């Protein structure tokens, strides 16, 4: 690349940065350990979640201000689609979500190397339950299975013939399981394990099933409006999130949540 081309690219990049000194990111208003902590519309002061920690590092790295809003998940997606929010964290990849916002891409495909994190889903059952999951025998689930409303795992398990009961949180699902209103619960492993650790009644009666259902990469998304206006800045955000995921400061903070 010649000097002229490099100069033009730098001008475009930093012009985009100058035009976007303050941007807005949305995230869910329910707890998703370790990404976001607390079932609240506010960002927690102490240990707010690793997604928030990543955003703060992103601010510092790129010299910008990021305003955070916590909303119900479906509203987060709508704000992103409408361009009222510039970014969202975090979302697994679903083809139909591309109409709401932009994932990091390479050669027209989602770029897994620029993910924010990876999370596993697991089934949880009552310890008294005879359920035995091998990783393939989804037919053993004949009753209702609890799962987080609006999450990709719901569609995944419906496609396998399971009867999904969507709810606002894994904690609510565990209460339903305790009351035998669900046969099992499908949850992000870090969330399910968190509630087992924090609630002795849950841990005495509920256990995680093995093997895990699936592991999925999760991404920061940007609105189409923001990306189209600031493509250089948008790509820099995607690149920086991937760098933050691997740096020592981030990993040290993550250890405090796990």
Residues 181-205: tens digit of each pLDDT: 999 999 999 889 989 998 999 999 9
Burial group, residue 237, by CB count within 10 angstroms (0-12, 13-18, 19+)? buried
> Residues 138-149: what's their mean pLDDT?
96
Residues in a beta bridge with 163: 144
C-alpha 159/C-alpha 197 separation (Å) is: 31
One domain for residues 95 and 206: no
One domain for residues 79 and 137: no
Q: What is the pLDDT of residue 152?
A: 87
One domain for residues 156 and 61: no
- Which residue has 């619960």 as its token pair? 185
One domain for residues 13 and 74: yes
Q: What is the pLDDT of residue 21?
A: 82
One domain for residues 21 and 97: yes
Q: What is the pLDDT of residue 221?
A: 98
- Mode of pairing for the β-strands spanning 214-222 and 117-126: antiparallel
One domain for residues 140 and 108: no
pLDDT at 146 over 50: yes
- Which long-range contacts (C-beta less than 8 Å, at least 24 apart) are formed by 2-11? 9/232
One domain for residues 127 and 67: no
- Of 191, 185, 146, nearest to 165 (Cα)? 146
Q: What is the pLDDT of residue 64?
A: 95
Q: What is the pLDDT of residue 255?
A: 81
pLDDT at 62 over 80: yes
Domain range enclosing 48: 3-116+216-257
Q: What is the CATH number of the domain that holds 125?
A: 3.40.190.10
One domain for residues 108 and 234: yes
Number of domains in the chain: 2
- Of 15, 257, 28, nearest to 149 (Cα)? 28
One domain for residues 209 and 238: no
One domain for residues 7 and 44: yes
One domain for residues 203 and 231: no
One domain for residues 41 and 8: yes
């Amino acid at each position: 690349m010649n000097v002229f081309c490099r100069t033009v690219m730098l001008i475009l990049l930093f012009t985009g940065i100058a035009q976007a000194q303050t941007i807005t990111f949305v995230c869910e208003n329910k707890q998703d350990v370790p990404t976001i902590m607390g079932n609240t519309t506010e960002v927690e002061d102490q240990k707010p979640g690793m997604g928030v920690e990543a955003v703060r590092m992103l601010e510092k790295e790129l010299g910008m201000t990021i305003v955070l809003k916590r909303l119900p998940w479906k509203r987060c997606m709508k704000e992103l689609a409408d361009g009222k929010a510039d970014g969202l964290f975090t979302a697994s990849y679903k083809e139909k979500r591309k109409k709401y916002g932009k994932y990091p891409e390479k050669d027209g495909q989602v770029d897994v190397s620029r993910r924010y994190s990876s999370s596993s889903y697991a089934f949880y059952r009552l310890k008294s339950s005879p359920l035995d999951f091998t990783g393939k025998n989804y037919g053993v689930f004949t009753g209702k299975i609890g799962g987080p409303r609006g999450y990709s795992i719901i569609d995944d398990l419906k496609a396998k013939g399971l009867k999904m009961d969507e709810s606002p949180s894994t904690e609510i699902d565990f209460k339903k399981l305790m009351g035998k209103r669900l046969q099992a619960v499908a949850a992000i492993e870090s969330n399910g394990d968190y509630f087992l650790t924090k609630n002795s009644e849950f841990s005495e009666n509920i256990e995680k099933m093995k093997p895990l259902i699936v592991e999925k990469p999760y991404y920061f998304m940007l609105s189409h409006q923001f990306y189209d206006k600031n493509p250089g800045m948008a790509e820099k955000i995607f690149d920086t999130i991937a760098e933050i995921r691997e740096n020592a400061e981030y990993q040290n903070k993550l250890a405090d949540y796990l």
